[in-house]
Amino acid sequence: MSKEKIIDHQRNLLAILRGHLNALYVPNFLTNDHTGQPCLEITDHNARTRRIYVQVVFYWFYWGDRPDERTSTIHLPMAAEDIAAAVRRGWREGEQGTLTIELGNIHGAHGR
């Protein structure tokens, strides 16, 4: 899949998620970050902003690097509820972590 098609797919998933978040009264803004990656910007009640991104290979929406800062893209209404709950709790203090995936840590990923 080309980079353009991946970005189109990410933008489409975010647009659908945006509709579900709007129905839950979670203000959000569809934009691109400084690298051109599509994302949703959401500010919590503490005026902390996070960007929601899509990791298409693992079917995740994510807003940080911790396991509790991601949710599945497979069931969009549930993903919106997870994100809305995180917004109500408030984003964690500090900078938004960057999700990195170490494929070498996955059993069998090192090859033969």
Q: Are 101 and 58 in contact (CB under 8 A)?
A: yes
Question: Residue 81: is its pLDDT beyond 90?
Answer: yes
| pLDDT classification of 97: cutoffs 50, 70, 90 | low
Encoded tokens for 106: 């996955």
pLDDT of residue 26 exceeding 70, the answer is yes
Give the residue-averaged pLDDT of 25-39. 96
Q: Does residue 54 carry a pLDDT above 80?
A: yes
- In the chain, what is the straight-line distance between the N-terminal and C-terminal CA atoms, in Å? 26
Residue 91's pLDDT is 92
Pairing state between β 38-43 and 70-72: unpaired
Tell me the mean pLDDT in the region 18-27: 98
Q: What is the DSSP letter of 107?
A: T
pTM of the model: 0.85
